[in-house]
Amino acid sequence: MSVRVKICGLTQVDDALAAARLGADAIGLVFYAPSPRAVTVAQARAIVAALPPMVTTVGLFVDAAATEVQQVLGQVPLDVLQFHGDESADYCARFGRPWWKALRVRPGLDLSAAAAHYAAAQALLLDAYVPGVPGGTGERFDWSLIPPALPLPVILAGGLTPDNVRTAIDSAAPWGVDVSGGVEAIDDQGRKRPGIKSAAAMAALIEHVRNLRS
């Protein structure tokens, strides 16, 4: 099995280069102003321009106006769009890019029905449900809620860290994993630094995933 890795919530060129050098398959840029990991178009352009070949660039949006997404796409060469709000399937499909639909998983959510609804998505990204917060919470969800045979590739997200990523992959058998808070740098007070990544944590996470690859 070859599980792909996306590192999300990058705001710094150096962190993106480190992620790429360490073997990340994709990097995520958050275009959602309330997020502490939000990037400006200028930051995003600098990060994408600095990347080596063969690293997929993913733009994350939360219930953005279509004009905003189009404006970003006009200035930043994003490969994939990740929609993390309540966007409809028609909305997601209108930008002419592959797209992933994020769903926040909680008991009662019918993931098979959601997969049918978002059948044109390239993947379903499954994240934790935390009331009032669209994502990037650092919380995990009950991976046993994922049905075994969804018709779309699953990208597992939500509270993944170097310490739990192997268990998560064993449990959920995803196509890929998406990690943000779990590889963030820690300040002198022991607090996370949203938007700033720890190269050591990214290395440990990617190494754990790579060791599963054959």
By CB under 6 A, name the binding residues for ligand LGQLAAA5.
8-9, 28, 30, 32, 35, 37, 60, 62, 84, 125, 127, 134-138, 157-160, 178-182
Q: How far is the CB of 182 from ligand LGQLAAA5 (least distance, A)?
A: 5
Return the number of the residue (111 or 214) whose C-beta is nearest ligand LGQLAAA5.
111
Q: How far is the CB of 57 from ligand LGQLAAA5 (least distance, A)?
A: 13
Q: How far is the CB of 157 from ligand LGQLAAA5 (least distance, A)?
A: 4
Return the number of the residue (18 or 162) whose C-beta is nearest ligand LGQLAAA5.
162
Return the number of the residue (33 or 214) whose C-beta is nearest ligand LGQLAAA5.
33
Return the number of the residue (179 or 206) whose C-beta is nearest ligand LGQLAAA5.
179
Which residues are marked as active site? 8, 127
What are the distances in angstroms from CA 164 to CA 54, 71, 107, 208, 213?
Answer: 27, 37, 21, 9, 16
3-state SS string for the chain: CCCEEEEECCCCHHHHHHHHHHCCCEEEEECCCCCCCECCHHHHHHHHHHCCCCCEEEEEECCCCHHHHHHHHHHCCCCEEEECCCCCHHHHHCCCCCEEEEEEECCCCCHHHHHHHCCCCCEEEEEECECCECCCCCCCCCHHHCCCCCCCCEEEECCCCCCCHHHHHHHHCCCEEEECHHHEEECCCCCEEEEEECHHHHHHHHHHHHCCCC
Q: How far is the CB of 96 from ligand LGQLAAA5 (least distance, A)?
A: 22
